[in-house]
Amino acid sequence: MHSWQSYVAIGDSFTEGLEDPGPDGAYRGWADRLAEIMAAGNPDLRYANLAVRSKKMRHILAEQVPAAVALRPELVSLCGGTNDILRPGADPDAVAALFEQCVRQLTEAGSKVVIFTGIDTKGVPVLQRLRGRIATYNVQLRAIADRYGCLVVDLWPLTALQDRRAWAEDRLHPSPEGHRRIALLVAQTIGVRTEQAWDEPWPPAQELVGLARHRADLRWAQQFLVPWISRRLRGVTSGDGLSAKRPELGPLCQRSRQGQQEKC
């Protein structure tokens, strides 16, 4: 078991916590949930979350990594590259090269880095076409982890996270239950004690088949795929103009959002 003193999360919407609204309506996500688990055993934990939705690896490298280095945390979680890999013609090797620069700077600053592989998109409409590209990227990430001694959260083979209930309606972000399980998985990876198991069996559920599945796929395309394509064509992202929800390293009971401090 390990009692971390400070933790900074960097990345994109996955780490910001999209599709996991908290009691106040603000996004919570697995990183906030993980910090809560860590703080249960160490009330002195200091935590910051610099992740912003839609950010690519070059943005994470240029904006978030220097900020994380300046905070000098004991632990940094880094998950990024999905927004690059989703683009047509993306080169997984080039994205991995940027990822390695992030890891190098963080480790040279003295932080232990925990990274994530991409999920297996087999059977997911549209996204399953990216399966080979994601697998190639994962190979590079594991090699980077070996070179720099990173902890690895390997999402690719986990059947417990391949259940459709682990993912929100947009099929890109975890559901609240998915975020909860990922937080428990990361806690296990970094050596933090938990009372629950991330891979507890899902209760039985009726699978969508035939016409019902076709209708669900069509509804997903109309609500999420078409707007995403529209934003790409217009050169805008859902993260434009947004800043980190928790840019300062501090006690968990303090949340910095738009320059205001809220205490528990």
**Is 206 inside any structural domain?**
no
Mean pLDDT in residue range 131-152: 97
CATH value at residue 117? 3.40.50.1110
Greater pLDDT, 161 or 262: 161
Order the strands of the 112-116 sheet from edge to edge.
151-153, 112-116, 75-79, 6-11, 46-49, 246-251
Q: pLDDT at position 240, please? A: 79
Average pLDDT score, the chain: 90
Give the pLDDT of residue 208: 65
Q: Give domain status of residue 205, yes or no.
A: no
Q: Which domain holds residue 15?
A: 6-198+242-255
Q: Count up the domains in the chain and report the number.
A: 1
With respect to residue 22, please indicate whether it lies within any of the assigned structural domains.
Answer: yes
State yes or no: pLDDT of 35 exceeds 70.
yes
Identify the pLDDT of residue 260.
44
Asked if the model's pLDDT at residue 3 lies above 80, the reply is: yes
pLDDT digits (tens, 9 = 90+) for 94-109: 999 999 999 999 999 9
- What pLDDT shows up at residue 256? 44
pLDDT at 261 over 70: no
Give a yes or no: residue 168 inside a domain. Answer: yes
Q: Please state the rounded mean pLDDT for residues 73-89.
A: 95
**Mean of the pLDDT values across residues 116-132?**
88
pLDDT-derived band at 220, boundaries 50, 70, 90: low
Residue 220 covered by a domain: no
Residue 146 banded pLDDT, cuts 50, 70, 90: very high
> Among 58-67, 79-88, 146-155, 198-207, which stretch is predicted with the lowest mean pLDDT?
198-207
Residue 162: inside a domain, yes or no?
yes
> Taking 90 as the threshold, does the pLDDT of residue 246 lie above it?
yes
The pLDDT assigned to 2 comes to 83
Average pLDDT of 145-165? 94
Asked if the structure places residue 144 within a domain, the reply is yes
- Assess if residue 1 is contained within a domain: no
- Per-residue pLDDT averaged across 43-53, rounded? 96
